[in-house]
């Protein structure tokens, strides 16, 4: 009799357990991976929020997902790699009625990353991103907030390194336009629709200060199902003025000092010219090493190579002066105007050219202007001819060869002209350069 009673009790318990399982299964909507979460509201316990399988909510239209971004910082901008690194708070807003739950005071519930792995969340990714990660110190920086009506806020703190196609034609006087793009990875516009939740106010930024750039504008935009975070960067020029432009200007001005050094001081002028040339080469190499190897000319390249050309021409100028001086003295030797006691080998070994103190160098005779109306008539033949009217006065023009002979005979004139021509040319170049690129 006792055995029968125990058997009946066991059968009753088994039937009760089976009924409870069937009832629980029906209330859950017969979903896969079923699990119940117990919530407490004002001391009242209930089992109503069911964690769904990772599938999108069933809706007739595309699921609207609002996006809100707060940019925390722009960590770095690399010209060599053409990318930027940004840390931001990415917030998603959507509604899933399957996660709705009753609440007496309409309070939301906040969860951490453990619940995110058990429900469906939008698969937003960063287009053209090279690296990205979610911060996990001290815990994963993920927050999920569920409201009683089924609205959900999903926030994540992420750092992303993305591509920025930069144009260095005006570097370092350039302005770069970069953008961070967001899009759904697996869903098209018929399944999921991304939009800025509050329009242009959906993009907020903290006070961001960069070392080389000034942020002119942050703007949110969209195109089809893709969202854009656009920002314009204007480069600070003061750093490059100190590191590149001012040293280059000083080297060019320093190369002009040789125009005031005596043309017979060969070691001084040659060493000064070579020093400025090598310094300019070092500046150009340093700037090129910190820039990407682009196939077009940058603004800084134009300035550096033009300045290098001025320095190089100052060396060539002294080579011309030295050659003209030597050629002039060789002509004097052929005409017999050099004393027999003059030792040309010793003079050349000392400074590279003959000495004007030891050689009588007479200047090239100036040609008196002919005031007659007939250019073929010699001045000595018509000494008493009255001066013609201004409208009929003619002057004999020197030929190119005569001008060259004049410079050869008076090589010091090359330095005199260079003292004026080089500074004026460089000043004109700077005026055009800064008016175009500034």
What b/e sequence results for 62-88 when a residue is b if at least 16 CB atoms lie within 10 Å of its CB, and e otherwise? bbebbbbbebebbeebebeebbbbbeb
Q: Which long-range contacts (CB under 8 A, 24 or more apart) does 417-420 make?
A: 418/256, 418/259, 418/314, 418/317, 419/256, 419/259, 419/260
Token code pair at residue 414? 């090359």
Give per-residue pLDDT as tens, 96-151.
Answer: 988 888 888 878 999 988 888 889 999 999 999 999 999 998 899 999 999 999 99
Residues of the chain with CATH 2.70.170.10: 63-235
Question: How far is it, in rounded angstroms, from Cα 118 to Cα 134?
Answer: 18
Q: How many residues are there in the chain? A: 438
Q: Please identify every stretch of the chain with a pLDDT value under 70, giving residue numbers as ranges.
A: 1-54, 336-398, 400-409
Q: Where in the chain is the domain with CATH 1.20.58.390?
A: 239-331+425-437
Q: Specify the pLDDT at position 373.
A: 43
| CB-CB contact of 181 with 127 (8 Å) | yes
CATH fold of the domain at 239-331+425-437: Methane Monooxygenase Hydroxylase; Chain G, domain 1 (1.20.58)
| Per-residue confidence (pLDDT) for residue 359, from 0 to 100 | 45
* Class for the domain spanning 63-235: mainly beta
> How far from 383 is each of 70, 289, 395, CA to CA, in Å?
95, 72, 17
| CA distances (Å), origin 133, targets 73, 91, 129, 136 | 15, 15, 11, 9
Q: Which helix H or strand E contains 276, and what residues bound it?
A: helix 266-289
Residue-level pLDDT at 405: 66
- Overall pTM > 0.95: no
Q: What is the helix (H) or strand (E) element at residue 182, kind and residue range?
A: strand 175-184
DSSP H or E run through 271 = helix 266-289
Distance in angstroms (rounded) separating the CA atoms of residues 309 and 132: 46
Q: What is the pLDDT of residue 54?
A: 61
Query: Would you state the pLDDT for residue 112?
Result: 87
SS3 229: strand
């Amino acid at each position: 009799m006792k055995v029968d009673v125990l058997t009946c009790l066991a059968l009753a318990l088994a039937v009760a357990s089976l009924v409870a399982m069937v009832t629980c299964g029906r209330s859950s909507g017969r979903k896969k991976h079923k699990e119940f979460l117990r919530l407490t509201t004002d001391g009242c316990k209930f089992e109503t929020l069911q964690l769904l399988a990772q599938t999108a909510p069933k809706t007739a239209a595309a699921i609207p997902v609002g996006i809100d971004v707060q940019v925390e910082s722009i960590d770095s901008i690399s010209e060599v790699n053409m990318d930027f690194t940004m840390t931001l708070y990415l917030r998603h807003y959507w509604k899933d009625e399957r996660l709705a739950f009753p609440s007496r005071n309409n309070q939301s519930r906040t969860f951490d990353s453990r619940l995110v792995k058990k429900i469906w969340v939008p698969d937003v990714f960063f287009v053209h991103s090279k690296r990205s990660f979610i911060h996990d110190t001290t815990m994963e920086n993920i927050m999920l907030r569920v409201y009683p009506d089924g609205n959900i806020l999903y926030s994540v703190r992420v750092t992303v390194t993305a591509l920025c196609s930069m144009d260095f034609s005006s570097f370092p006087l350039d302005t770069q336009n970069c953008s961070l793009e967001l899009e759904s990875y697996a869903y098209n516009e018929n399944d999921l629709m991304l939009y800025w939740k509050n329009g242009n106010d959906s993009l907020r930024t903290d006070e961001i200060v960069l070392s080389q750039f000034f942020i002119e504008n942050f703007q949110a935009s969209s195109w089809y199902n893709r969202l854009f975070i656009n920002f314009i960067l204007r480069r600070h020029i003061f750093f490059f003025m100190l590191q590149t432009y001012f040293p280059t200007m000083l080297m060019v001005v320093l190369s002009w000092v040789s125009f005031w050094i005596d043309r017979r001081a060969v070691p001084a002028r040659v060493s000064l010219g070579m020093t400025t040339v090598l310094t300019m080469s070092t500046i150009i190499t340093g700037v090129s090493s910190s820039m990407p190897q682009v196939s077009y000319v940058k603004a800084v390249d134009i300035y550096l190579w033009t300045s290098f050309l001025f320095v190089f021409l100052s060396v060539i100028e002294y080579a011309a002066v030295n050659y003209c001086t030597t050629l002039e003295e060789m002509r004097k030797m052929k005409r017999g105007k050099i004393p027999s006691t003059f030792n040309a080998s010793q003079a050349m070994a000392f400074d590279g050219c003959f000495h004007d103190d030891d050689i009588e160098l007479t200047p090239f005779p100036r040609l008196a202007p002919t005031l007659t109306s007939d250019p073929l008539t010699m001045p000595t033949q018509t000494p008493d001819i009255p001066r013609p009217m201004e409208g009929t006065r003619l002057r004999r023009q020197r030929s190119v060869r005569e001008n060259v002979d004049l410079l050869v005979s008076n090589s010091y004139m090359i330095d005199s002209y260079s003292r004026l021509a080089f500074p004026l040319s460089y000043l004109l170049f700077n005026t055009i350069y800064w008016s175009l690129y500034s």
